[in-house]
Amino acid sequence: MDDKTIMENLLMTTKGVCDLYMHGTIESNTVNIRNTFNSALNDTLCMQDDIYQKMSSKGWYPTEQAEQQKIQTVKQKFASSVNQ
């Protein structure tokens, strides 16, 4: 298994863990449990960002700039649905 594949797997696993911690935070019924999940979520989000930054620096996670016209179209769509 090459380094890129390992990093992709780490990123996907970390994103999955973030999802679990987020739901744990949302569903917690006590402050202590909510704070524990929230702290774990924040730590994991930092890990996810570190992994992403390393992948991006190696060109393993290419992104593209969204077209301004597409951004405006989405803004208008959601603005009109909120005003209804």
Where do runs of H (alpha helix) occur along the chain? 3-27, 31-57, 68-83
Quote the pTM value. 0.76
Give the number of C-alpha atoms closer than 13 A to the C-alpha of residue 14, restricted to the C-beta side.
17
Question: Using one digit for the tens of pLDDT, what is the confidence trace for 8-60?
Answer: 999 999 999 999 999 999 999 999 999 999 999 999 999 999 999 999 999 99
Phi, psi angle pair for 72, to nearest 5° = -65, -40
* pLDDT tops 80 at residue 83: no
Count of domains observed in the chain: 1
Q: Tell me which residue range forms the domain holding 16.
A: 3-83
